[in-house]
């Protein structure tokens, strides 16, 4: 946790961040780094992060999105990830995000080639480092790929993947070194007085109040908001991941590869392979992984693309939660309309880790100064769920 946890007390804070995942910890770090004159607390129920979303993610960092706001966020965040370990240094000890810029490779067949070509024009116009590849060029990157049916690919050479737990710990440790308080308790209720959210009540019935409350509770945000009579369209959607050992080890490093049906795979520690695929799931807080799904759906798809994966040993699996924004599958940010002192940073629908640097910087500016300065994040404002606006993002995996 980057330091000892404090237990909930009745002492007031200037800013209380509900949720100690990568988004909440990034906001805390940026507030203090940017010179907030006040106290910042992060409320986290589980110091082990056993079932938290961040450590269970695939850790991808990319620029290949279709919506302008997400591309701009990706450009900003990529630069920060490139310097992350040094930026989060404490007492001469760097962080250990282990950002590996091995690239992102979106494979294309007749189903998605035109969409990738259309997205590429937008990405390049905004300055993203993304290329369209011919099948022969794809095979230069992944020689073991079977080219049958392949029309090309979208290639992000500066993209890659991190150690999600290392990113989380980097933010937490740095925030604590700057004076953030880490408070171990489970928030059960948002406290509302008239037109203001004033704090939270814990599972044990204790109260913590603050001048400003930021809801960054990930998949739990929707249920927590409901305790104050607020409806935000965020649900917990289970996602599974698997790690296997291929019979034949590749003598090159895999990028993060995604096929037209959202199957992904990449190298993990020791030449093992991390893989997963989205499937329709009913919402819920479920953390059981399904071995049969790997055997019947993922494995056959893997060796269709990479025949060498026909022989493998499944090592382990796990399930985590997407904080799915059911409105439009994009993050909900900013001041909640009609309420004083209440901000949202939730609903990132699988993109929270890679958007955390930009979101942390933006929320810091919004809370301290009343507006965005480094990057305009207003397209993600939560007010859009009341005005009927939606952001179309085709790149949700």
For the chain, list the domains and their CATH numbers: 6-59+165-233+327-387 (3.50.50.60), 101-158+238-323 (3.30.9.10)
pLDDT of residue 270: 81
Instruction: Tell me what the mean pLDDT of segment 117-122 comes to.
Output: 98
Q: Is pLDDT of 365 > 80?
A: yes
pLDDT at 108 over 80: yes
Res 242: pLDDT? 98
Question: How far from the centroid of its chain's Cα atoms is residue 336's Cα?
Answer: 21
Is the pTM higher than 0.75? The answer reads yes
SS (H, E, C) 219-281: HHHHHHHHCCCCCCCEEEEEEEEEEEEECCCCCCCCCEEECCCCEEEEECHHHCEEEEECCCC
Residues 319 and 385: their CA atoms lie apart, in Å, by 29
Mean pLDDT of the chain: 95
Give the phi and the psi of residue 139 in degrees, each rounded to 5: -70, -20
Binned at pLDDT 50, 70 and 90, residue 295 comes out as very high
The pLDDT assigned to 47 comes to 84
For residues 192-230, one letter each, b for 16 or more C-beta atoms within 10 angstroms of the residue's C-beta and e for the rest, the string is beeeebbbbbbeeeeebbbbbbbbbbbbbbbebbeebeb
Q: What are phi and psi of 151, to 5 degrees?
A: -100, -20
In the predicted model, is pLDDT for residue 156 greater than 80? yes
Using DSSP's 3-state secondary structure scheme, residue 61 falls into: strand
Q: How confident is the model at residue 309 (pLDDT cuts 50, 70, 90)?
A: very high
- The C-alpha atoms of residue 15 and residue 179 are separated, in whole angstroms, by 12
Q: What is the pLDDT of residues 275-289, one digit of tens each?
A: 999 888 899 999 999
Residue 106 has pLDDT above 70, yes or no: yes
CB 220 within 8 A of CB 236: yes
Which residues are paired to 384 by β-bridges?
none
pLDDT range class, residue 227, cuts 50, 70, 90:
very high
Please say if the pLDDT value at position 5 is more than 70.
no
Report the alpha-carbon distance of residue 164 to residue 243 in Å, rounded. 16
pLDDT above 90 for 1: no
Round to whole Å and give the CA distance between 262 and 306.
Answer: 15
pLDDT number for residue 269: 81
CA distance 59 to 61: 7
Average of per-residue pLDDT across 29-42: 97
Assess whether pLDDT exceeds 50 at residue 323.
yes
Number of H helices, E strands in the chain: 11, 19
Distance separating alpha carbons of residues 286 and 282, to the nearest angstrom: 10
pLDDT above 60 for 10: no
Q: Which residues pair with 332 in a beta bridge?
A: 346
What would the mean pLDDT of 154-175 be, rounded to a whole number?
98
Is residue 57 within 8 A of residue 353, CB to CB? The reply is yes
Looking at residue 3, what is its pLDDT?
Answer: 32
CA proximity to 218, closest of 44, 339, 3 = 44
Q: So what's the pLDDT on residue 9?
A: 44
Answer whether 266's CB lies under 8 Å from 161's CB. Answer: yes
Does residue 259 come out as left (phi exceeding 0), alpha (psi in the -120 to 50 range) or beta?
beta
- Cα of 265 vs its chain's centroid, Å: 17
Residue 6 has pLDDT above 60, yes or no: no
Strand partners, 41: 16, 181
d(CA 159, CA 101): 5
Rg of the chain in Å (alpha carbons)? 21
pLDDT in tens, 66-81: 999 999 999 999 999 9
Overall average pLDDT of the 197-223 stretch: 96
User: What is the reported pLDDT for 263?
Assistant: 97
As a whole number, mean pLDDT of residues 303-319 equals: 97
Q: What is the pLDDT of residue 11?
A: 57
Q: What is the mean pLDDT of residues 207-232?
A: 97
109 pLDDT higher than 60: yes
> How many angstroms separate the Cα of 68 from the Cα of each of 2, 200, 387?
35, 35, 20
């Amino acid at each position: 946790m980057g330091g000892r946890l404090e237990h909930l007390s009745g002492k007031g804070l200037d800013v209380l961040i509900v949720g100690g995942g990568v988004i909440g910890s990034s906001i805390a770090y940026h507030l203090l780094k940017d010179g907030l004159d006040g106290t910042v607390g992060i409320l986290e129920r589980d110091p082990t992060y056993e079932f938290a979303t961040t450590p269970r993610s695939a850790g991808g960092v990319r620029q290949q999105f279709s919506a302008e706001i997400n591309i701009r966020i990706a450009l900003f965040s990529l630069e920060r990830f490139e310097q992350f370990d040094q930026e989060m240094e404490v007492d001469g000890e760097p962080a250990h995000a282990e950002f590996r810029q091995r690239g992102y490779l979106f494979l294309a067949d007749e189903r998605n080639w035109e969409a990738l070509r259309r997205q590429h024009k937008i990405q390049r116009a905004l300055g993203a480092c993304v290329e369209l590849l011919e099948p022969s060029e794809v095979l230069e990157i992944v020689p073991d790929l079977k080219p049958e049916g392949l029309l090309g690919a979208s290639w992000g050479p500066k993209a890659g993947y991190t150690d999600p737990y290392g990113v989380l710990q980097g933010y937490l440790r740095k925030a604590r070194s700057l004076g953030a308080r880490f408070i171990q308790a489970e928030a059960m209720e948002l406290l509302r007085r008239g037109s203001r959210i004033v704090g939270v009540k814990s599972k044990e019935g204790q109260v913590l109040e603050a001048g400003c409350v930021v809801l960054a509770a990930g998949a739990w945000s929707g249920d927590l908001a409901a305790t104050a009579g607020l409806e935000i369209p965020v649900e917990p959607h289970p996602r599974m991941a698997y790690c296997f050992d291929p019979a034949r080890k590749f003598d090159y490093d895999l990028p993060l590869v995604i096929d037209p049906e959202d199957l992904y795979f990449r190298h993990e520690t020791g030449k093992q392979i991390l893989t997963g695929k989205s499937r329709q799931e009913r919402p819920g807080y479920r953390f059981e992984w399904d071995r049969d799904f790997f055997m019947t759906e993922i494995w056959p798809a893997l060796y269709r693309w990479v025949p060498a994966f026909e022989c493998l040993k499944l090592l382990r699996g796990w399930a985590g939660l997407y904080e799915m924004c059911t409105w439009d599958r994009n993050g909900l940010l900013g001041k909640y309309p009609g309420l004083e002192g209440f901000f949202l940073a939730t609903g990132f629908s699988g993109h929270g880790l890679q958007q955390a640097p930009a979101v942390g910087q933006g929320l810091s500016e919004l809370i301290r100064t009343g507006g965005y300065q480094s990057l305009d994040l207003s397209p993600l404002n939560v007010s859009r769920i009341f005005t009927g606006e939606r952001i179309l993002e085709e790149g949700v995996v």
